[in-house]
Amino acid sequence: MLIENEVMDYGLGKVAELEKDKNQEWAKYTKGEFRAQRILIESIKDHLIPFVAYLSTSKAIYDKLVKLYSVTTTS
């Protein structure tokens, strides 16, 4: 869904966070950032929401989900 909506780079942290300003670049950034956050939140089960609800960026949400689901052992 992130790729389809052209916001995967937000989740991966490839789009630099801009300072709050009233210009078009900031508006474009926030629109993409909020879209990525919404996709991530709506894609997970309700019982996982508390693990990511306090996070403020899509990259932080994405990283937390990867950490929750990554396998750290080889056995």
Q: What is the mean pLDDT of each run of 10 residues along the chain (75 residues)?
A: 82 72 75 90 90 91 89 70
pLDDT at 8: 83
pLDDT at 19: 59
pLDDT at 69: 84
Tell me how many domains the chain contains: 1
Answer whether residue 15 is part of any domain. Answer: yes
Answer whether residue 1 is part of any domain. Answer: no
The boundaries of the domain holding residue 41 are 8-69
pLDDT at 22: 63
The phi-psi region of residue 13 (left if phi > 0; otherwise alpha if psi is between -120 and 50; otherwise beta) is left
pLDDT at 1: 83
Is this prediction's pTM over 0.95?
Answer: no
Nearest 5°: the CA angle 32, 33, 39 is 90
Answer whether residue 47 is part of any domain. Answer: yes
